[in-house]
Chain A
């Protein structure tokens, strides 16, 4: 969302949040405290114990305003173009197997793949030195990566700031990795 770290949004239905107990205790969450127990304030307040991340919330608000100004629809349309081009170029590289959604209209900007003969970490390392930041590994979803039958995947993510030049750099970096690993 182009926002700061340490802040996020949890979306939940009011009547369901009302049924949840607070996970963390602290100032501002209680309605009444007795020696035998306590009752909690209304649903949202009870989950925000202590001093909230005020600066973070203000910055997140600025990020939301920025994205609304650019237009979520515009971001989606732009990402579609970039993903379509990235998928097309990646498919031309021998040894690349794309694991991401191949239909670019249904892909929201995440292109995960594996490269035959080069482990995802090694690919990420070489790309990183070429100035291309991708993620590699389990992506916090080890059971899913295991189910795909691979030990790790490489993942390139595209967003409103990515251009055709970035795809060019990605493809050139993968070719460089292939030279280093002689595959």
Chain B
């Protein structure tokens, strides 16, 4: 099978997720769900006094695409400023995943992004 979706990097993040833990100190968090399929993710972000992401973590369960996506996203967000977070687009998430996402899997791929959008709304 020509494996375009389940590339090694994505599978590795799924098997050994980065930052899958809870941030105990002060932080912002938001949950995103795909009601029809049951994917769930809680994104947690801690900010320093300058508004830069000092820590990022997640909790969740779901398919490899959604969970690897959350894992990669937490890596990516660390060190970003609030301004940079606001400039992120779904296209950046697809680039980050580095695999072909079909329309049917867009909600899985963007689960973490949906949680991030909620956090940014709360920050305002």
Contact = CB atoms under 8 A, between A and B. Distances in A.
B79 interface: no
Contacts of B65: 121-122
The size class of the interface chain B forms with chain A is 10 to 19
Interface residues of A, number: 20
Contacts of B40: 151
Given A130-B1, A176-B1, A181-B6, A121 B37 contact: yes
A82 to B, nearest CB: 26
B75 interface: no
Contacts of B114: none
A142 interface: yes
B64 interface: yes
Interface in B1-58: 1, 3, 5-6, 11, 35-40
Main secondary structure of the interface of A (DSSP, over half): helix
B93 interface: no
B1 A129 contact: yes
B105 A137 contact: no
A152 interface: yes
Interface of B: 1, 3, 5-6, 11, 35-40, 61-65, 67, 105, 108
